A = this chain, B = another copy of it.
Amino acid sequence: MRVVTSTGSMQGLALGWKRRGNRVGLVPTMGYLHEGHMSLVRRARRWVGAEGKVVVSIYVNPTQFGPKEDLSRYPRDMTRDLGMCREAGVEVVFAPTDAGMYARGRVGEAHSTYVVEETVSQRMEGAERPGHFRGVTTVVAKLFNLVLPDVAVFGAKDYQQAMVIRRMVRDLNFGVRVLVAPTRRERDGLAMSSRNGYLSEGEREQATVLWQAMGEARRIVRGSRGGVPASRLSRELTRWMERRPAVRVGYVAFFDPETLEPVERVRAGVQMALAVWVGKTRLIDNSRV
């Protein structure tokens, strides 16, 4: 396994693969890897085959964090990450530096180009985290140009992100197939996330509300005739979750799984997503109702 930190070397390597006809799969991560990430790696491997190359990028991208968010305390453990990638048979870990990714020169020469998606990215995470998706689309566009993947694998846990990336790929004609792999969960249903490590023991217990609320929504909708008004269901679930002392709900949203347009009535087949603060930790999750 090779660890590449220079953007130039990464692109050179990728060009060589292209020339030799190797299929390339990219798994973009912010590191602090867990079983969720490794399931994406396995998905990439299945797609590119034994002759193909799997690249895991590990980069805590500053442009997708808001000024009050957890950029500086975001968990990192490169040694452990590299061990996991090696064990999984990854060919290249691409771990660039901030200076390499976002050019800084004399005045007026700082990084100044962004990729913006203006529809799918507007609600939910986009509304609660202004600038977040602009950072995501920009860094993913950069990674695509540096790694030149045939396929890139994203986790379904970040559902809106995956849809935003799909839209970007379509609109900017990136020759990349975007795969979305199912969310991996702990035994009690909590979606795996590097941010789960922030939770205290008591908070960790309360964090199961996201999973439970989604089950609750499914039960309510399936028990109804012709669905339930989205606003009422959202209010009810919010109240229900906030009975736990550490829990504060950001949003509970119901929408079309393709266009991400909100629906008025929640029926089976509608997508739901929620963002919930548990103490000082913000968690998100989603599922089909």
Which residues A6-50 have CB closer than 8 A to chain B?
Answer: 7, 11, 15, 18-19, 21
Contact of A175 among B108, B120, B145 (CB under 8 A): B145
Contact of A118 among B107, B112, B173 (CB under 8 A): B112
Which residues A128-179 have CB closer than 8 A to chain B?
Answer: 137-138, 141-142, 145-146, 148, 167-168, 170-175
Contacts of A117 in B (CB 8 A): 112-113
Which residues A66-91 have CB closer than 8 A to chain B?
Answer: none
A115 to B114, CA, bound (A): 6
A127 within 8 A of B: no
A236 within 8 A of B: no
Interface extent on A, as a size class? 35 or more
A111 within 8 A of B: yes
Contact, CB under 8 Å: A171 / B113: yes
A173 to B101, CA, bound (A): 9
A114 to B172, CA, bound (A): 8
Contact of A261 among B108, B174, B256, B259 (CB under 8 A): B108
A224 within 8 A of B: no
A115 to B174, CA, bound (A): 13
Most buried by B among A110, A113, A175: A113
A268 within 8 A of B: no
Contact of A145 among B18, B106, B119, B174 (CB under 8 A): B174
Closest residue of chain B to A7 (Cβ to Cβ) is B173
Contact, CB under 8 Å: A142 / B172: yes
A148 to B137, CA, bound (A): 20
Closest residue of chain B to A175 (Cβ to Cβ) is B11
Give A22 Cβ to nearest chain B Cβ, in Å.
10
A115 to B7, CA, bound (A): 21
A109 within 8 A of B: yes
Contacts of A116 in B (CB 8 A): 113-116
Contacts of A21 in B (CB 8 A): 19
A103 within 8 A of B: yes
A142 to B148, CA, bound (A): 15
Give A132 Cβ to nearest chain B Cβ, in Å.
15
Contact, CB under 8 Å: B113 / A167: yes
Contacts of A142 in B (CB 8 A): 171-173
Contacts of A108 in B (CB 8 A): 119, 256, 259-261
Contacts of A168 in B (CB 8 A): 113
Interface pairs (5), CB distance under 8 Å? A7-B173, A108-B256, A141-B172, A142-B171, A145-B173
Shortest beta-carbon contacts, A-B, top 6: A113-B171, A112-B119, A108-B259, A145-B173, A113-B117, A113-B168
